[in-house]
């Protein structure tokens, strides 16, 4: 699994212009209607929105067929009515980044783990489970990483107690003052 | 003798901060390791949700006290991407200068810490002595030696002072002389130093990529990835520089990591000199940023320790809805067991020191 990147193209350290359009058309060709949204945001950035059930096929395709070898970041977002698990995956040969937004229903915060594809997902998913409470099924060691082990909450959720008052200067400004 | 676990940390001279490396040893050979982190978790991502976009710069400064400007800059860049504004050209050049000054200061701090790890106390004194030069330059530029609060959403806080360019050139000239004569001899050409670092803590390029190792640690494996080149931000596109990649055999060991960082010191100096040359001598250095923003923005930059990624979501309010910080050290830490396994316990200090750990950004 770790060493299966033998066929990777040469990493020259320079961006390849137009790579994002190529990636987008490949993704559209392979998955078609499964992509809820697919667009080029800016140079070297493609954004796709999928359902959580398509995560593993999409990511496997990205890694094994398109050469996206580097899982940069895993973000979980609490949208109050649903969760979103966002993956930033990068291709070192072209400098192109794909942002995969996988949607998760609020009452069942579970999504497949990517540790089988990228070992980098190990710590990143643990952190997101720790702070946001999204369960990554199939993760070998889904335990608290930043917070104490006996902590009972997932603090980045929007319903977790938070310092709601802004700093007073801004509050005054918001009420129409200067 | 059965295998057993040793706690290297949380309070151990090797850790450079507060974290714990549990090491399983069989005799003197490390068979497994397990990093334990989170001692310095301050909940930044949560705190940032109740502060306005601009005020968060103060927080991101403190993500890594050694490398404040690079972190604040990454955050500002992400927010600018979300707001759809762009820094004026002079502002971008000033940012490049400040980023590279900060990178040198950060690498020198690492060098100062890595020297004593290997019993080279001279390294500590020399590197900190030269770091003062760069802290002075940063102070001249921003008014503070550390936690500068210098980048702004939309530019930088203030213009460069009048005598900055001359001071900068003088310091860099002095510093380059020191690097070539003194540092080179006491580190790179020292036989003891090379014996301690060569061949220990090896990690293959494929493993490093798969585990998310970035920055100088990845370039030491021979992978030519420098985000200043691969995904250029600010005005790095117009600068002619060479990413420091290890090309020879024996890639991915502690010595290669040292060499990549050490050569980056020189390269950063060249970038600063070029930036001072190409920078427009006057003009706007900041644009006004809107108070409220909606949408999402991400920016990834080449931090001193690797790929720093900020992902900011705004919901139309004057504060972010969600901020995600991707810390390079956090991901590198996951790969340290690979580097440690099979080495002697005494070498673990030489390995972990070469990774350049900064706990502040790791634990957020």
CA distances from A142 to A70, A138, B23 (A): 21, 9, 21
Q: How far is A166 from chain B (nearest CA, A)?
A: 6
Give me the domains of chain A, ranges plus CATH numbers: 19-174 (3.30.460.80)
Q: Over its length of 178 residues, how does chain A's per-residue pLDDT go in tens digits?
A: 444 444 456 778 788 888 888 888 888 888 888 888 888 888 888 999 998 888 899 899 888 888 888 998 899 998 888 999 999 999 888 888 899 999 999 888 889 998 988 998 989 999 999 998 899 999 998 888 888 888 888 888 888 766 555 545 555 566 666 5
Burial class of A53 by CB neighbour count within 10 A (0 to 12, 13 to 18, 19+)? exposed
Q: Give how far A134 is from chain B: nearest CA, Å.
A: 15
Nearest to B45 among A13, A86, A156 (CB): A156
Contact A57, A63 (CB under 8 A): no
User: Residues A20-64: pLDDT tens digits?
Assistant: 888 888 888 888 888 888 888 888 889 999 988 888 998 998 888
Which residues 241-260 in chain B show a CB within 8 A of chain A?
A: 243, 245
pLDDT at res. B174: 92
Put simply, whether B331 touches A (Cβ < 8 Å) is: yes
Specify the DSSP class assigned to residue B48: G
Beta strands in B63-213 (DSSP E): 151-152, 155-156
Cβ contact, residue pair B210, A164, below 8 Å: no
Distant-in-sequence contacts of A125-133, Cβ < 8 A, 24+ apart: A125/A74, A127/A74, A127/B330, A128/A74, A128/A75, A128/A76, A128/A85, A129/A154, A130/A154, A131/A76, A131/A155, A131/A156, A131/B45, A132/A76, A132/A77, A132/A78, A132/A83, A132/A156, A132/A157, A133/A109, A133/A157
| Chain B residues whose beta carbon lies within 8 Å of the beta carbon of residue A69 | 209-210
For A1, which residue in chain B has the nearest alpha carbon?
Answer: B210
Residue B224 is nearest to which of A13, A75, A147, comparing CB atoms?
Answer: A13
Q: Cα angle at A86 between A11 and A46, to 5 degrees?
A: 50
- How close, in Å, is residue A112 to chain B by CA atoms? 18
pTM, full prediction: 0.89
Phi, psi at residue B264, to the nearest 5°?
Answer: -65, -25
pLDDT of residue A29: 86
Residue B215's contacts (CB-CB under 8 Å, 6 or more residues apart) are: B302, B303, B304, B305, B306, B307, B328, B332
Residues of chain B falling short of pLDDT 50? none
| CA–CA separation, A25 and A145 (whole Å) | 38
pLDDT of A86 reads 92
Q: What is the DSSP string of B210-247?
A: HTT--THHHHTTT----HHHHS--TTGGGS--------
Which CATH topology does B38-363 take? Cytochrome-c3 Hydrogenase; chain B (1.10.645)
Among B residues 34-73, those touching chain A with beta carbons less than 8 Å apart: 37-38, 41, 43, 45-47, 49-52, 55
CA dist A41 and A28 (Å) reads 15
Answer yes or no: do A119 and B210 touch at CB < 8 A. yes
Smallest CA-to-CA distance from B338 within B201, B200, B145 is with B201
B241: left (phi over 0), alpha (psi -120 to 50) or beta: beta
Q: What is the pLDDT of residues B5-36, one digit of tens each?
A: 888 878 877 777 788 889 999 888 999 999 98
- Residue B155 CA neighbour count, 13 Å, CB half: 17
The CB-based long-range contact list for A129-133 (8 Å cut-off, 24+ gap) reads A129/A154, A130/A154, A131/A76, A131/A155, A131/A156, A131/B45, A132/A76, A132/A77, A132/A78, A132/A83, A132/A156, A132/A157, A133/A109, A133/A157
By residue count, chain A amounts to 178
Q: Which residues of chain B have a CB within 8 Å of the CB of A72?
A: 212, 300, 307, 309, 326
In this structure, how many other beta carbons lie within 10 angstroms of the beta carbon of residue A177?
8
- For residue B69, the SS3 value is helix
Burial of B201 (0-12, 13-18, 19+ CB in 10 A): buried
- Between B51, B230, B334, which is nearest A120 by CB? B334
Q: Look at residues B331, B356, B325 and name the one whose alpha carbon lies nearest to residue B60.
A: B325
Q: DSSP 3-state assignment of B4?
A: strand
Given the DSSP bridges, would you call strands B306-315 and B320-326 parallel, antiparallel or unpaired?
antiparallel
Q: Decide if B341 touches A, using CB distance below 8 A.
A: no
Contacts of B41 in chain A (CB under 8 A): 146-147
Q: What is the DSSP string of B316-355?
A: SSSSEEEEEEE-HHHHHHHHHHHHHTTSBGGGHHHHHHHH
Q: Which residues of A touch B204 (CB under 8 A)?
A: 3
**How far is Cα A86 from Cα B322, in angstroms, rounded to an integer?**
12
Q: What is the 3-state secondary structure (H, E, C) of chain A?
A: CCCCCCCCCCCCCCCCCCHHHHHHHHHHHHHHHHCCEEEEEECCEEEEEEEHHHHHHHHHHHHHCCCCCEEEEEEEEECCCEEEEEEEEECCCCCCEEEEEEEEECCCCEEECCCCCCCCHHHHHHHHHHHHCCEEECCCCCCCCCCCCCCCCCCCCCCCCCCCCCCHHHHHHHCCCC
Contact A146 B207 (CB under 8 A): no
Q: What is the ipTM for the molecules in this complex?
A: 0.86
In percent, the amount of chain B with pLDDT more than 90 equals: 23
Partner-chain contact A73 B326, CB within 8 Å: yes
Query: What gap in Å lies between CA A144 and CA B39, rounded to an integer?
Result: 12
- Cβ contacts (< 8 Å) between B81 and chain A: which residues? 42
Q: How many Cβ pairs within 8 Å bridge chains A and B? A: 125
Rounded CA Rg of chain B? 20
Whether residue B352 contacts residue B113, with contact meaning beta carbons closer than 8 Å, is answered with no
Token duo for residue A77: 């977002």
């Amino acid at each position: 699994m770790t060493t299966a990147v033998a066929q990777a193209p040469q990493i020259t350290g320079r961006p390849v212009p137009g790579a994002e359009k190529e990636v987008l058309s490949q993704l559209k060709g392979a998955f078609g209607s499964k992509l809820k949204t697919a667009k080029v945001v800016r140079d070297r950035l493609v954004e796709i929105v999928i359902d959580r059930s398509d995560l593993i096929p999409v990511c496997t395709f990205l890694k094994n067929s398109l050469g996206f070898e580097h899982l940069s970041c895993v973000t979980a977002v609490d949208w109050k009515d649903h969760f979103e698990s966002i993956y930033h995956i990068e291709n070192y040969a072209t400098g192109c980044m794909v942002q995969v937004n996988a949607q998760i229903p609020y009452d069942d915060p579970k999504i497949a783990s990517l540790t089988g594809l990228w070992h980098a997902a190990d710590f990143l998913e643990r952190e997101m489970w720790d702070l946001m409470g999204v369960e990554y099924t199939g993760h070998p060691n889904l335990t608290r990483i930043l917070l104490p082990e006996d902590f009972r909450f997932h603090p980045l959720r929007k319903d977790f107690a938070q310092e709601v008052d802004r700093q007073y200067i801004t509050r005054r400004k918001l009420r129409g003052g200067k | 003798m059965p295998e057993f676990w040793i706690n290297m940390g949380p309070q151990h001279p090797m850790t450079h901060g507060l974290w714990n490396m549990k090491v399983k040893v069989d005799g003197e050979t490390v068979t497994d390791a397990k990093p334990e982190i989170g001692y310095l978790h301050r909940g930044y991502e949560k705190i940032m949700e109740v502060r306005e976009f601009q005020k968060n710069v103060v927080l991101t400064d403190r993500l890594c006290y050694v490398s404040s400007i690079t972190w604040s800059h990454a955050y500002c860049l992400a927010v600018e991407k979300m707001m759809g504004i762009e820094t004026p050209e002079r502002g971008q050049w000033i940012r490049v200068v400040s980023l590279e000054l900060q990178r040198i200061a950060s690498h020198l701090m690492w060098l100062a810490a890595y020297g004593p790890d290997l019993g080279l106390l001279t390294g500590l004194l020399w590197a900190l002595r030269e770091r003062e030069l760069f802290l002075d330059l940063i102070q001249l530029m921003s008014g503070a030696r550390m936690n500068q609060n210098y980048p702004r959403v939309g530019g930088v806080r203030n213009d460069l002072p009048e005598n900055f360019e001359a001071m900068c050139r003088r310091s860099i000239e002095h510093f380059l002389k020191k690097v070539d004569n003194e540092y080179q001899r006491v580190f790179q050409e020292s036989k003891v130093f090379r014996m301690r670092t060569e061949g220990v803590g090896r990690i293959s390029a494929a493993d490093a990529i798969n585990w998310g190792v970035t920055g100088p640690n990845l370039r030491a494996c021979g992978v030519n990835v420098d985000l200043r080149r691969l995904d250029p931000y600010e005005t790095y596109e117009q600068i002619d520089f060479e990413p420091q990649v290890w090309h020879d055999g024996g890639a991915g060991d502690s010595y290669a990591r040292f060499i990549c960082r050490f050569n980056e010191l020189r390269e950063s100096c060249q970038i600063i000199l070029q930036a001072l040359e190409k920078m427009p001598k006057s003009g706007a250095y900041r644009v006004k940023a809107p108070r409220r923003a909606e949408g999402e923005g991400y920016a990834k930059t080449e931090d001193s320790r690797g790929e720093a990624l900020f992902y900011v979501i705004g919901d139309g309010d004057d504060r972010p809805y969600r901020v995600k910080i991707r810390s390079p050290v956090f991901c590198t830490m996951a790969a340290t067991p690979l580097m440690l396994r099979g080495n002697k316990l005494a070498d673990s200090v030489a390995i972990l020191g070469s990774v350049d750990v900064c706990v502040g950004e790791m634990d957020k």
